[in-house]
Structure 1
Amino acid sequence: MIGKLQCVVLDCHYPAGLAHFYAALLGGEVDRPDPRWSLDDEWSTVHLPGGEVLAFQRVEDYRPPMWPDPAHPQQLHLDVEVADLDEAERRAVELGAVPQTGDRGWRVCTDPAGHPFCLVLARQA
């Protein structure tokens, strides 16, 4: 195991609105303070009753998916919390991931099929 799932991130135009939708649908608390990320107009979260977290990320030119049209694919990615970014990225690459970009707090990689995921540095509460 390299890390643990931190949250599932969905692209959208209005993060807070989508967070409130999913909180009404699934239960949970919108934008609960959490040291793992900041909350603003670009990012919103729902902490679900079972402990899972959904996150919503603003994308400027967001184009919604059109099920099942592959020309308008589904848009989400996984955030994987890790203790050491360099080691996690090295191990992910050994498994077939391709590094893309990032900074000191996270790294973006793609899985062998091209789906993006983020390795994010664990923060102490």
Structure 2
Amino acid sequence: MALAKLGVVVLDCPDPRALAGFYAEVLGGTVEGDGDWIDLKAPDGQALAFQAAAGHVPPAWPAPDDSQQFHLDLVVDDLDTAEKGVLALGAKPLDASDRSRTWRVYADPAGHPFCLCAC
């Protein structure tokens, strides 16, 4: 028997509403809340939360002597189309040059790494 169940993944960031808006454009869904805590309710029922963090420092990636903290794997039907979309929304490529792989790594506008992964 589990002791708990996962509630929500929370991303620290300097501007919760802006980062929730980025992920709403990528994943769909609705942005809810005001102030230092914003929720994103995705159409599939999953949720992400965004919390204001003064002095937020994005993780370094790749950095063998520094942690990436966590990353999101986002499943897409077409890597090239999804890549164009996330770049237009403000993502930055971290490791997207190897076109033979089934994943590519980016940073969201607050610097959190995430992967686009082919189905």
TM-score, length of structure 2 as denominator length: 0.52
The one of 68, 88, 113 aligned to 1:73: 68
Tell me, in whole angstroms, the C-alpha distance in 1 between the residues paired with 2:45 and 2:59: 27
The one of 32, 35, 44 aligned to 1:41: 35
SS across alignment from 1:6: coil
Tell me, in whole angstroms, the C-alpha distance in 2 between the residues paired with 1:8 and 1:59: 15
Structure 2 residue ranges without an equivalent (≥5): 72-119
Q: Does 1:59 align with 2:53?
A: yes
TM-score, length of structure 1 as denominator length: 0.50
Instruction: Note the alpha carbon deviations across 1:18-71, whole angstroms, 9 max, x for none.
Output: 00000000011111xxxxxxx332111100111111000111000011212243
Letter in 1 for 2:48: L
Structure 1 residue ranges without an equivalent (≥5): 32-38, 77-125
Match of 1:27 in 2: 28
The runs of 4+ residues in structure 1 deviating greater than 6 Å are none
Paired residue total:
69
Letter in 2 for 1:22: Y
Tell me, in whole angstroms, the C-alpha distance in 2 between the residues paired with 1:15 and 1:74: 18
Match of 1:16 in 2: 17
The share of aligned pairs that are identical, in percent, is: 43
